Amino acid sequence: MQKIIGVTLALALTLPLPAWAADNAAYPQRPIRLLNPFAPGGTADINARTLASEVGRQLGGNIVVDNRDGANGIVGTQIVVNAPADGYTILHTTTSAAINPSVQRKLPYDTLKDLTPITFVALGAGYVVVAHPGFAARSMKDVIELAKNKNKPVAYSTAGIGNSTHLVTEMFSAAAGINMTHVPYKGVAPALNAVLAGEVQLMFIPPTSAVQHIQSGRVRGLAFTGKSRWSVLPELPTVMESGLPGFNKDAGWNLWAAPAKTPPAIIALLQREVKKALALPQVREVFVNGGYDPLGNTPEEARAFFAAEIKLYGDIVKRIGLKPE
């Protein structure tokens, strides 16, 4: 019997490993493509590039950020969904991924079935409300009063219909009992440029993209939507302090995900490396200064949270009466 076992073991050791096992053992063997489904220069882009640089270094390889914006993140996400499930094409996405199932009549993929969450990279504390310097409002109370004047509509920009920047503005409007004119753009950066150029009056924007423009005076910071003031701009009042008691909203999140059926060993490896990178002071500083709390939860926790977020935003979309397009 011992002789048979010994022969069997020797045979097993000489057999070639399955392709996925061999790939995992040496992963990564070539550059990893990190799809950011939004325009360059926005918060998601800054966070993606900061993390990709460090995680790539830790893996002894290279992670290349590829911006493929369009349709509120759907274009880039579909590229990942259709890519081989080998760990060489992954996604850095935002809250839009949880919103799209509720605001799009028909997505070209099933968000929960066709994506495998790796980890939630970070959670946002709130949005900054910025206005063109020529806009008369100096507080959110002023915004509410000005928006009630139907003869002079107040226009706001967003990173796209159904984007989190759209929903948070509509949530504010509903809570304040006002209507503002929505002007959607393809991404955070062009939406901010619309404020800078005076094409619209204001925007609810992720903090990272707002700081330098507020500090330079190119836009006026009106308020922060978080529960408390943001440490980077402590002089900026919360929306609750500035004109709408009881209103607060976090700024969503950033998520890394991969195509469905990506080997669990690769998913687990990437999650560990992301969490390790987020603990580094130089990486953590970028996220914290941008208004995000680094996270790095497990793939199992990420999947449960992702499903809960899809349900949450579905409920919000119904509550504000936004019709799927």
Residue 161 is predicted with a pLDDT of 81
Same domain for 134 and 237, yes or no, is yes
12 located within any domain: no
Please, which pLDDT band fits residue 208 given cuts at 50, 70 and 90? confident
Tokens encoding 192: 């901010």
Q: Which tens digit of pLDDT belongs to each residue from 44-99?
A: 899 999 999 999 999 999 999 999 988 889 999 999 999 999 999 999 999 989 99
Name the one residue in this structure whose structure tokens are 């809960």: 308
Q: Which tens digit of pLDDT belongs to each residue from 177-194?
A: 999 999 999 888 899 999
5 located within any domain: no
CB 313 within 8 A of CB 99: yes
Same domain for 111 and 150, yes or no, is no
Q: Which of 242, 271, 290 finishes a domain?
A: 242
Report d(CA 304, CA 120) in Å as an integer. 11
User: What share of the chain in percent tops pLDDT 70?
Assistant: 92
Please, which pLDDT band fits residue 12 given cuts at 50, 70 and 90? very low
Same domain for 210 and 233, yes or no, is yes
Q: How many domains does the chain have?
A: 2
SS3 231: coil
137 located within any domain: yes
**pTM for the predicted model, two decimal places:** 0.76
DSSP letters for 14-72: HSPPPHHHHHHHH--SSPEEEEE-S-TTSHHHHHHHHHHHHHHHHHTS-EEEEE---GG
Check pLDDT > 60 for residue 8.
no
Range of the domain at 237: 128-242
Residue 86 is predicted with a pLDDT of 97
91 Cβ contact partners less than 8 Å away, ≥ 6 residues apart: 34, 35, 37, 76, 77, 80, 115, 255, 256, 257, 258
Give the residue from 252, 208, 202 showing the smallest Cα distance to 226: 252
CATH of the domain at 87: 3.40.190.150
Report d(CA 84, CA 227) in Å as an integer. 42
SS3 89: strand
Q: Which tens digit of pLDDT belongs to each residue from 34-46?
A: 999 988 887 789 9
Name the one residue in this structure whose structure tokens are 């809250």: 95
14 located within any domain: no
